Chains A and B, each alone.
Chain A
């Protein structure tokens, strides 16, 4: 049926100490139940944190070492596991994990720089909690690092390295709803647009690979067996995770998509791109035909801004927040 359209309203913006960098998925949000959300946005070498309590805080990329300048951060995300929530930062040097308020570093993993030929950039990018026990982080070589996270303490171990991608990882997403049989519960995406579907566990299993078709996939979500992917040519594509078939194609944006987010209670999808637009869509499955549907709900134009981060701030998708390149605030709707 037609989704009930409750119009979104622009609310008060939140000031950031520094502007946001033009990086994919550059907005982290933590929505604890019955509390105000916490936000994080990357600016060069630092992460600006706006907590729900206490003053704003900044975290620095780690790993300068031997006369090298401070490395750039590529992304930050809160990873919610059953036992704990960790704040994960990825940079040109490696992976930093903190307690969710950013107060203490729990773990540091340095990327092996020596393996890469000089011309290739080295960085970590793409963060997701998976399988109730792991945190997966992508790298510029295409490898996906799987970290096993203990319920408490700092004894994080590298459990596995998945090597199916040949291009830098852009984004990783875990199933946020109910995965149908054989659909897998994790999707990884890369610069070439290739998507890999995995089943998580002691050992991760590759269930399927959707080859890219010439356009980078910069952002990806997985919900009820539907992969929603945003591309550099402005398209959103919906794929059936189980079969790897395309189910919908939307000419959604006029420029490179930088962020996608999904609200698991309603299937609302949020997309933000360099074209200054943020769109809200609604995903659904037609019970008779089993077709996957996508409808447009709402559009916002962030004037003169290239959107680089967009996230829902509640599981139903009634509110969302946006960051833009060079913008020193988080816009709330």
Chain B
């Protein structure tokens, strides 16, 4: 319902995706000197992160994103991240991509649900951006792009009222409705129940601007307070210490949106299996969405033309597996419940001549800014292709 929801959805999901990719790349990387031709190194990891972040924060893309508009359908949005994840030399099989998307969406759903105030969704976004800036801290060109987006966020959102933020939050919650995929790291930390629902604590600090429940004040007809009473209930709340910063730099205070993954905490999901709750989600996929064509044209304009050529030599070396073994990934692909399939669409750049001209122009702008470290032939054919566009 709120026409300002898409930038927040896109940036936060993108942030979660980067956390996960970074963790998986680190977990699978080998020190440079010891690496075989088809194994991941630190240099590769940095390149992938740089490429994806640079594509994500592309100026034209951001301009389109920040225009007031309705949220995309789940299908269309999933396709955007598919393209984004493939903006570099890295490849993901369908099963890994599905898992990546599950993790991203459940993480952000959790963050939106647990935000103390609707306005705190902005702090969550800033947490993601702060971390993204860290990933590309030695690439000033890309850093600039991210800072630009940061400034645009501040300009667009800092002045919105609480009511408008709540509308944004409600719009996001409608988008995430009925998603109950269980995430290992959430289950372990006891923030998610075994039925896939998140734990909502009834203790801790109240949101900034809210009082700890309990006080009843009575005023007479002159406006003078004449009585105070208290009531008690099960919650155990305290006053918050301070408010998070909404500036370009500052302590956000809120932990939601910071990186919860580390090399030692693997990312896993369990399929929650068929249940009544999934029925409504399945319906959304089946009912044809007349808007889809418009969305896809837009996506094609922005991210299209990135040819997904099969890289030469040693296919597995380019592939990132979100599972611990290839067998697991294969198994996951075969056993994924039908209701949870994302039915990703293949985008072809459209054939209309006018569109083609526009595409070439935008593709020129999508070139990665930073000079690449001159490493192996890995993905060079592909990169050459992108450079030549």
CB atoms of A306 and B177 under 8 A apart: no
Q: A216-B163, A277-B202, A295-B229 are in contact. List 16 more A-B contacts (CB 8 A).
A: A18-B178, A44-B177, A118-B68, A119-B4, A120-B68, A245-B223, A251-B212, A254-B202, A254-B206, A254-B237, A256-B166, A276-B202, A293-B218, A295-B231, A304-B197, A326-B177
Chain A residues positioned under 8 Å from B217 (CB to CB): 248-250
A25 within 8 A of B: no
Q: How far is the CB of B116 from chain A (nearest CB, A)?
A: 7
Stretch at the interface among A79-87, A94-102, A154-162, A230-238: A230-238
CB atoms of B218 and A291 under 8 A apart: yes
Interface CB pairs A-B, < 8 A, 5: A23-B170, A121-B167, A291-B221, A291-B226, A326-B177
Taken together as a complex, chains A and B put the C-alpha atoms of A37 and B102 apart, in Å, by: 39
A305 within 8 A of B: yes
Nearest residue, chain B, Cβ from A74: B1
Nearest residue, chain B, Cβ from A296: B231
Number of interface residues of B (CB under 8 A): 63
Which B residues from 176 to 207 make CB contacts under 8 A with A? 177-178, 180, 193, 197-200, 202, 206-207
Which A residues from 20 to 62 make CB contacts under 8 A with B? 21-23, 43-44
Interchain CB contact (< 8 A) of B198 among A216, A291, A304: A304
Taken together as a complex, chains A and B put the C-alpha atoms of A18 and B193 apart, in Å, by: 20
Number of interface residues of A (CB under 8 A): 68
CB atoms of A21 and B221 under 8 A apart: no
Interchain CB contact (< 8 A) of A233 among B198, B200, B209, B290: B209
Nearest residue, chain A, Cβ from B290: A67
Which B residues from 146 to 185 make CB contacts under 8 A with A? 161-164, 166-167, 169-170, 173-174, 177-178, 180
Q: Are A275 and B1 also in contact (CB < 8 A) when A21-B174, A216-B166 are?
A: no
List the interface of chain A (C-beta within 8 A of B). Answer: 18-19, 21-23, 43-44, 64, 67-69, 72, 74, 92, 118-121, 123, 167-168, 170, 190-192, 214-216, 218, 232-235, 240, 243, 245-256, 275-277, 279, 289-296, 299, 301, 303-306, 325-326, 328
Taken together as a complex, chains A and B put the C-alpha atoms of A243 and B198 apart, in Å, by: 45
Interchain CB contact (< 8 A) of B215 among A251, A295, A306: A251
B210 within 8 A of A: yes
Chain A residues positioned under 8 Å from B233 (CB to CB): 277, 279, 299, 301
